[in-house]
Structures are given as C-alpha cells and as structure tokens.
Structure 1
Amino acid sequence: MFDIDKWQEIFATIKKNKMRTFLTGFSVAWGIFMLMILLGSGNGLSNGVANNFMNDAVNAMWIWRGETTIPYEGMKSGRSIQFHNDDQEIVQKVPGVGVSSGRYFMGNTRYSYLKESGEYTTITCQPALKDVENLILNEGRFINDLDIIQKRKVVVIGADIKTALFKDSVALGEYVNVNMVPFKVVGICSEPGSTQNRNAYMPLSTAQMIFSGSNKLHNLALTINATTLEESQAIEEQIRNALGKQHKFDPKDEGAIGLYNKLENYIQTMKIFQAIKIFIWIIGIGTLIAGIVGVSNIMLIVVKERTKEIGIRKAIGASPSSVIGLILLESIMITTIAGYIGLVLGTGLMEMINYFMMQSAGPATEQSETIFMNPTVDINIAIYSTLLLIVAGAIAGYIPAKRAASIKPIVALRDE
C-alpha cells in the first residue's frame, strides 16, 4: 500500500493520461456535488415551511362564526351564529383542548401619547392567546388572569406602536389613550414571522365593558392536545358537536362555523415534503448511479489499454494480485480525491447560501415568512455517499482488472 515505487508508477500513469483521469474524477465529483445540492435544497424548503408553521403553535386552532347552510330542528338555513363568552367556556371543556382564548376585534383604534398619535389594530383577548400565537415579549408582560378578573385598563402594544408613540423613551408604566380612554402599557411584543408589529392586546373583559357593552366574541383561538391527524380531527368533531348543541345547528354544517386546524394542515404539508424528499433522494441516487456508470466505463477503458502492460508485468514475474492491486489503488485514489472535492464544494455552497440567508434575515424578532431556510446537509449522508462511490469505483476497476490478470502473458502481449 505504501510502496513508493507503486505510487510513483500510479502518478506517472495519471500524468500520462490527464484527460482520462479528469473524466473519471469529474464523474465522481459531479455525482457527490449534485447530491449535496439536491439534498440541501430539499432540506431548505422543508425547514422554511416548518419554520413558518412555528410562527403560531403547531397545534393551534381558530374558530369563527358563520351562517347556517342547512335547516336544523325546524329552523331555516341562513341564520347567523353569534359567539359569546360562554362559548369559550364550552370549548375549553371539550376533551383534548389545551388552552383557549376568546377574541373581540376592535379594528383600527386611535392611540395617542402626548403629541404623538396613530391608528392601530386592537385585539382583545385572554392570557392564553400568547401561547396560541407564540407572541414574543420584548419588554414587560402579557395580559394575565387578574387583568381579566379585575377588568384592568392595561394594554400590550406592538413594537412598531412603541416606536411611533414613544420613540426612544420608556413605554412601560406609561399611559396611552385608546379612543380617548387611558390604558397603562404593561408590555411590548412582536409577532413571529411579521415585519409589521402594529397590533395591540388588551383584556377581553375590559374591552367588552368599556367599548362594546356586551359579551360578544368574534372568534376563538385554542390549542389541542393531539399529535396525529386522526386525533386532531376527532377533537375538531367534538368541538363542532359542542357548539352545534349550544347554537342549535347541524354539526356537519361547515358554513355555521369556520374552523382552521393548523395541526391538520401541518401534518398534510409535511407529508408532501416527505414525498418531495423521497423524490429528491431518487434523483440523487440516480445521479450517483450515473457517476458510478461513468467510473465503470472509464475503468474498462483503462484496463483495456493496459492489457499489454499487464502481460509484460506477468511475463517478468508479477503476480495477478499485485497487478490488480495497482489498478485498484489508482481507481480508489482518484475516486477518493474527486469525491472529497465534490463533497467540499457541495456542502460548502449550501453553507454559504445558509450564511448569507441568515445575514440578510436579521434578528429573529424581525424575520418574515420564508419558504427556504437552513439548506444544509447531514455530513454523515455526504460521507456515506462518497464512500459508496469509492467502493463502486473499486468494484468497477476490480472486475475487468481480474479478467485481464487471468489472461496468459503470451495472449496479453499479442493484444493490440
């Protein structure tokens, strides 16, 4: 293996046949390089979509009021469904429901502080909304249970509202006027995946008392304790049954209430990306096979060209195993170096793309939704793929070399 004469002979052969060596190495390097690009791109797409789902809790569910489309128990279709506070309590009791929050939208609301003012969206809610929508607290706290019970006039403002009204000054503990009613700022938040944090959050009970004078809700936000598609659909069915009984509509009437089950959407989307990954692997393996075929064809040519040389070696006493070993050593060396080059170039390109994407994305709190993220490849997969090509190249060289080494010297010397 470390015989200096052997290595000198191998390098001399490579130097003599530069084009052949280049083609052999290129087949190997290209196969590994393309596999890294394909796998990295597939991982980037999958990670990007998965990250977008993480902007809210993956097991989140939203329910909104609608209009009946099916007559039920003597009542005509076309009835508007109205949600109230007790609907949130009913949904919370459904087995499999985690946390829940009723929401009442005030829409665009006038906020003012000293000489600064502007219109922003106010969402009235309960403490659980923070967990459902994965809100990020930059400063202070979110709405808590005491705020709801005592109907406190407190508000959590988005980062953009804080910048617009308070500039560089401290906002926590200060009072802002919301439609001319003073509210104490207790927190500053950001929404994951959003570049415009112009929403404000205040206790549902306070808003209902001051601004609406009723207990109406626009929709319900909740999480469910499910990990499979079947479990989430079973909980969804129970929620429809519970609300259908409360509001007297057919639970199968999809128009009566709207329902978005994020876990169901997430599982179905990940199944699609799993299929895409399988497809990418098929293409990648096909690329590797193409590289293996290229190496095999070139090794057949190599052995054919060296048949006369093999005859001379055997005639002066070389054993068949030493002849085969010399050819295999050349094949393994070329495929190893070329495979490593393809591995470095492929993984390096993916890492470079990932680096520039992270630099351009900015802080996590300012990231917007993306469909491509962290396009890196598992290094173990890359190494195994390179080893596979090296073994394939060795086998491709061994079979014709063994056949040539078995030919009698006189026959090999006559080969043209």
Structure 2
Amino acid sequence: MSRFSRSLTLAAVSVAALVAAQGSAQAGAFGIREQSVTAQGYSFAGAASGSGYLSSMFWNPAVITMAPGWQTEAALSLIVPRVDINPVPSVPTFALGGSGDIGQDALVPASYNSYQINDRFWVGLSTTSPYGLVTDPRTNWSGQVYSRSSKVFSLNVNPVVGVKLNDWFSFAIGPSLQYFDITLKRAAGVAPGAPSVILEGDDIGFGFTAGVTITPFAGTTIGIGYRSRIEHNLEGTVAIPGAPSRIIPISSDLSTPDQLTIGISHAFTPAFTLHAGFEWTNWSILETPLVTGPGGAVVTDLPLNYDDGYFYSLGFDYRLTNQLTLRAGLAYEESPIDTNIRSTRLPDNDRIWASVGASYQWNDKLTFDLAYTHIFAKETDIRILPGHQDYEGLPFVADVDSNVDIVSVGLRYRWDNPTVAIPAAPIVRKY
C-alpha cells in the first residue's frame, strides 16, 4: 500500500484530527475564549484583574476574593463564524469546488459560583467549556481527503479556595477536571461520494488553576492567573470503510496547553476604569504526538508543531448611571498557526477583536450583562505542498475567507443580603 493510500485510511487516527477540529474556535487553535460576558465587552482586557467580575475566575481564580457574600454568574454566548476555503484552479481536485461555509454556529455556556465564608476565606466552583465547536464543509469538496466534518466537546469543572491575606494581596488555587470528546470524518478517496473514515475518542484529565491579585494602591488591581496543562490519553476507535469495513482501537497522548494571563485595571475616576491584558498559551507543547494501535504499535505520528499563542487587549468601562455601565475594547491575537503548518481543519490566523458591552443593575441582587464582538481575520491561505507537514501526495492550495460575530448574554445574582456584614475570620494568636 502506498504512503498516500495508507494516509487515506489511517489519517483519522492522527492527533491532528483530534486537535485541529476547531476551525471555528475563538481563542487561537482550538480554544474557546467566550467564558465571560462582561470581560468580552472589553475584548477580555483585564480579565485576570477582575474586569469579568466573578467569571474572571476562568483566567484567575483569585478574583473570587473580590466577590462578597454568596454569588452566581451565568453566561451564554452565540458564536457565528463564517469560514470559506476556496481552492485555486491549479489544484487537481478543483472541479469538486470549495468547502462552503465550514463554520458552524454554536452556543457556549459557562457558570460560576462563589461563597464567602468570612472576610478571609472563599470557596467557589466554575463549569466551562474551554475547547469545542464544529467545522463541517460540504461532503464532496476539493479538500475532502484532508478533512470532512470535525466535532469537539469539552467540559471543565474547577472548584477553588480563595484566601485574602490582607488588603492588598489575595491568592487562590483549585483542581480542574476536564472531559474531552472528539468525532471527526475525512474522505477515503478523491472521488465524489467517497466513504468516510470516522474517528471517535474521549478521555478525562486533571490539572489545576492558581492565581493572585495585588492591590498596590486604591483603584488599581493587578491579577496573574495560571491554568495548567491537562494530559489526556484519548482512547477510541477508527472506522475504515471497505469490504469488509474495519474498526480499529486507537489511543494517543495529548496535552491541552497551559496558559498564563496577566491583567491590570485602574479606576481613574469613580465612573471611568481602564483595563489592559496579556495572555500566553503554550500551544508549542503539542509538538509531534504518536498515535498507537493494538499492542502499542505506532500507526503514525502527527507533526502539529504549533507556535505559542499571544493575546494583547485594551478596554474601558464608563458608569453612565448608577444602574447602567458601558464598555468597549480592542485586542490583537497572534495565532499559533501560520502558513507553514496551516491545514484545512484549522485555517487559523492572526485576528483583531472589536467589542462593546453593557451591564444593567436591576437591583441590589440582580445584574444583566450583554456583549457583542466582531473578529477580523488576517488574509489567510492554505498551501499543502511538498514540504508541508500534512502533504500526502495531493497538492492543495486555497484562499480562506473568514470572520466571526459573537453575541453573549449573562446575569449575576447575589443570594445573600448585601446589607448584612460577613463575619470576620478568627484572629489566631501565638502565646
């Protein structure tokens, strides 16, 4: 069997398919950034320093110490991507046409809860989906041997404990449990109607989050948060069409990347606050994983070889009235993927985020949040030619046209009575 034919039948076992199924994900590579409605209104500027209120726990769990009493925050984001892959006429399969819109609309929920035990200790719980969404080109298209539909689902549960040591320093830490599931398809041949190779796999992995907040002087907060990498041993099957068809058990070790986020927020007046943020995501840990079959035999390897990702953001909010707060922000995202490694599953590139948002405080307990973002993608192309890490004998060159709209809604609710003081922590003396 030729190397190209072997690729057509076994390609779905590659981890590239596992992790490159996120063409419409919104945090570089296959991550999802939409975890906070309020922080989204700033393009996530100051997310680690509390601009997202309780939902800033996703980036920095120490912000829990900024939430008095017993609080809940819930968010729901509608992500509407548009991603079209259009092959150039020189591609051998050009007659099959472009991908159509591979971006699939998705709803991404998130929830956060915190409880203040006393003036020093907090406990909390967040439930998020840090990786996910779907790409789904037309069944018959020019690049079908490199990708058909790709679906990823993740669920992350993260309890935390926060400690406020004094008026200027707090920290928090907690374990993170993550479920990761994948289903994907690609064509077993170049002809229209060719059957699909189908992969399914999942795993549960464990990691942690940690962070600190520093208030050097009144009106200024600095936050530093860390999300650890989570190692997954994906186990599942690959279904290979034929006469007869075959189902092969496979596994592969994959780590979702660790992430460091820094934020700073400064209130210039009681009504106006400026936020800034920086984020580093360690995508380069993906490198070239091995994919194994029965008996541990290596089926293939996967040259992902992503760069690290970087995100820079600046935003502000203005309290127009006691009830209404307006916000806006801009961000620039450096993608971990460039033309040297860009694939049909993940045509990612550098992007500019432009966001606006608002909050309305209904009463002392209930606040509503709203945000809108448009993402402008840099001009992008795909060049799978000899020397490209995905090249398997079929040249594929295409232009990518993409943009994203995101609408998020949320609410914050305080369950206890805001007018009742929280009991102080006991003072421990050593005699």
Band of TM-score, shorter chain:
under 0.3
The higher-RCO structure (CA 8 Å, 6+ apart) is 1
Q: Judging by fraction of residues, say which structure has more strand.
A: 2
Question: TM-score under structure 1 normalisation?
Answer: 0.20
- Larger helix fraction of residues: 1
Larger radius of gyration: 1
